[in-house]
């Protein structure tokens, strides 16, 4: 049998369901835009959702261009893409005795790849970084704050990698010295 109170309760239930449906839709949209960053021109989206901006071209006639690449990636594949790109950029002609014109600053979870205890597992990427540094085409720096956060001892990092207290602060310092940040 129909009662007058049932109509009011049914309307409240329908309104509550509609509200929950709209809220769920908004959360899905928010998650989509958070998890899949918009790719702008000149950017490369790497595995693990790291976004790194590279210039389409570097000035070839200005041998004094110095760059700093801000690295905070979450996967070995993402770091490999960045190192390969840095190697490509580093192959452009340099003035004699100019030294490294690219600085890579590691300040994300990728610092674990460079712990000496993980060398066998990440040998290829560590060797690539060492090679780039040895030929003085790239300076590799690593954030001590992230090392501490990951429980990595400072003496567990290869000696060719320069340790800096805070990665983002080092990037800002280099930009103030005239480096172009990516």
Instruction: Say whether both 27 and 51 belong to one domain.
Output: no
Q: Which two tokens stand for residue 38?
A: 């918009």
Instruction: Say whether both 25 and 66 belong to one domain.
Output: no
Instruction: Say whether both 57 and 113 belong to one domain.
Output: yes
Instruction: Say whether both 22 and 54 belong to one domain.
Output: no
87-146 pLDDT per residue, tens: 776 666 656 555 567 888 998 888 999 999 999 999 999 999 998 888 777 889 999 999
E strands present in the chain? 43-45, 51-53, 67-71, 102-106, 138-143, 162-164, 180-181
Instruction: Say whether both 13 and 74 belong to one domain.
Output: no
| pTM: predicted TM-score of the whole model, two decimal places | 0.60
Instruction: Say whether both 8 and 82 belong to one domain.
Output: no
User: Is the distance from CB of 127 to CB of 92 less than 8 angstroms?
Assistant: no
Residue 24's domain comprises 1-36
> What confidence category does residue 7 fall into, taking pLDDT thresholds of 50, 70 and 90?
low
Instruction: Say whether both 7 and 67 belong to one domain.
Output: no
Give the rounded percent of residues in the chain with a pLDDT score beyond 90.
Answer: 30
Q: How many domains does the chain have?
A: 2
Q: How far apart are CA 89 and CA 83, in angstroms?
A: 10
More confident residue, 63 or 93: 93
For 115, the 3-state DSSP assignment is coil
Instruction: Say whether both 177 and 104 belong to one domain.
Output: yes
Q: How far apart are CA 2 and CA 148, in angstroms?
A: 68
Instruction: Say whether both 90 and 20 belong to one domain.
Output: no
Instruction: Say whether both 48 and 69 belong to one domain.
Output: yes
Instruction: Say whether both 14 and 102 belong to one domain.
Output: no
Instruction: Say whether both 78 and 152 belong to one domain.
Output: yes
Q: Which two tokens stand for residue 142?
A: 């690593």
User: Is the distance from CB of 126 to CB of 113 less than 8 angstroms?
Assistant: yes
Residue with tokens 């976004």: 51
pLDDT of residue 131: 87
Say how far residue 113 (Cα) sits from the centre of its chain: 14
């Amino acid at each position: 049998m129909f009662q007058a109170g049932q109509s009011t309760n049914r309307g409240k239930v329908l309104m509550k369901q509609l509200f929950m449906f709209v809220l769920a839709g908004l959360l899905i949209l928010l998650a989509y835009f958070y998890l899949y960053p918009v790719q702008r021109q000149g950017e490369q989206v790497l595995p693990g959702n790291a976004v790194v901006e590279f210039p389409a071209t570097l000035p070839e006639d200005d041998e004094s261009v110095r760059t700093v690449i801000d690295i905070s990636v979450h996967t070995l594949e993402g770091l490999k893409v960045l190192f390969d790109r840095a190697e490509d950029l580093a192959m452009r002609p340099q003035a004699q005795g100019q030294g490294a014109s690219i600085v890579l600053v590691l300040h994300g979870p990728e610092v674990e790849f460079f712990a000496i205890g993980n060398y066998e597992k990440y040998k290829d990427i560590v060797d690539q970084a060492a090679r780039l540094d040895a030929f003085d085409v790239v300076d590799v720096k690593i954030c001590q704050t992230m090392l501490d956060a990951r429980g990595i001892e400072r003496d567990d990092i290869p000696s060719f990698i320069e340790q800096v207290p805070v990665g983002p602060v080092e990037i800002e310092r280099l930009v103030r010295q005239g480096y172009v940040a990516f």
